[in-house]
Amino acid sequence: CSSSLAAVHAAGTAVHGCECDLALAMAVSLILEAQSTVGAAVVGMLAFDGRCKTLDVSANGYTRSESVGAATLQKADAGIKTAVLDGSLVRQDGRSASLTAPSGPQQQALIVAALIDGGVSASDLALVETHGTGTALGDPIEAGSLGGSVLDARAPEPALAVGGVKANIGHAEPAAGTTGL
């Protein structure tokens, strides 16, 4: 799920390290055969009603989607108005109970380290885009990690907006990271 964000991280690292002036990170997710969808449905990973309910108490699984995501990265130019990637970080989640059970402490440590890498404090954030698959297992772990690393480190006001694009378009699997970006 994070492979396309890992590609964005590598592209940003290459530009920042002067390996290149311009980098392109892309991801594509196409559902060409039914086997993986059937397999995910059989083990109960997919929402039986076809709706991804990110961070919702009625979350009952995710919805698969197709997507193409791309990001072009270059050094910041004062004359060009663009989005700025202040920093990024990639870390393996470590041992967890299963593919669908992320490690809360590892997620929390990653968020804190990414804020430090970007030179950003928790109180500087206005919006956080979550992975938010809409599963009763993963979403509470992610919400707890976000709470422990960001919400606990900022004042209650202004409120922090929390988004989850999967609730609108589904889970683009390998392209999920660039879709969220």
Give me the active site residues, please: 1, 131, 171
Single out the residue of 65, 29, 40 nearest to residue 167, CA to CA: 65
Length of the chain: 181
Structure tokens belonging to residue 141? 């772990």
- Is the C-alpha dihedral spanning 11, 110, 156, 181 positive or negative? positive
- Taking CA atoms, 68 is separated from 28, 58, 84, in Å, by 4, 28, 21
Q: What are the start-end ranges of the H helices in the chain?
A: 3-16, 35-42, 104-118, 138-149, 166-169, 176-180
